[in-house]
Amino acid sequence: GESVGLHLPTLSVQEGDNSIINCAYSNSASDYFIWYKQESGKGPQFIIDIRSNMDKRQGQRVTVLLNKTVKHLSLQIAATQPGDSAVYFCAENREGNKLVFGAGTILRVKS
Amino acid sequence: NAGVMQNPRHLVRRRGQEARLRCSPMKGHSHVYWYRQLPEEGLKFMVYLQKENIIDESGMPKERFSAEFPKEGPSILRIQQVVRGDSAAYFCASSPSVFSGTQYFGPGTRLLVL
pLDDT at A2: 41
Q: Measure the CA–CA gap between A70 and B79, rounded to whole angstroms.
A: 41
Q: What mean pLDDT value characterizes chain A?
A: 89
Between chain A and chain B, the number of residue pairs with CB atoms below 8 A apart is: 63
pLDDT in tens, A44-53: 999 999 999 9
Contact B41 A102 (CB under 8 A): no
Mean pLDDT of chain B: 93
Cβ contact B108–A42 (<8 Å): yes
Task: For residue B41, report the phi and psi dihedrals to the nearest 5 degrees.
Answer: -130, 165
pLDDT score at A29: 82
> What count of residues does chain B have?
114
The verdict on a CB contact (< 8 Å) between A44 and B95 is no
pLDDT of amino acid A53: 93
Q: What is the DSSP string of A22-77?
A: EEEE--TT--EEEEEEE-TTS--EEEEEEETT-SEEE-SSEEEEEETTTTEEEEEE
Chain B residue closest in CA terms to A37: B105
Asked if the model's pLDDT at residue A26 lies above 70, the reply is yes
Residue of chain A whose Cα is closest to the Cα of B90: A43
Residue B2: pLDDT band with limits 50, 70, 90:
confident
Asked if B52 reaches chain A (Cβ–Cβ under 8 Å), the answer is no
User: In sequence order, what are the beta bridge partners of B111?
Assistant: B11, B88
**What is the pLDDT at residue A3?**
46
Over 60: is that where the pLDDT of A14 sits?
yes
B93 and A101 Cβ atoms separated by less than 8 Å: no
Length of chain A as a residue count:
111
Interface contact flag, B45 A46, Cβ < 8 Å: no
Q: Per-residue pLDDT tens for B26-81?
A: 998 989 999 999 877 789 999 999 988 999 999 999 999 999 999 999 999 999 99
User: What is the pLDDT at residue B102?
Assistant: 85
> In chain A, what's the furthest Cα-to-Cα distance?
42
pLDDT bracket for residue A1 (50, 70, 90): very low
Of A80 and B96, more confident: A80
**Residues B105, B88: Cα–Cα separation, whole Å:** 16
Residue of A nearest to B47 (CA): A98
What ranges make up the beta strands (E) of chain B?
A: 5-7, 10-13, 19-24, 31-37, 43-50, 53-56, 65-68, 75-79, 88-95, 104-105, 109-113
CB B107 within 8 A of CB B90: no
- What are the residues of chain A with a beta carbon less than 8 Å away from any beta carbon of chain B? 32, 34, 36, 42-46, 49, 89, 91, 93, 96-104
Q: How far apart are CA A59 and CA A45, in angstroms?
A: 14
Residues 6+ apart with CB under 8 A from B2: B26, B27
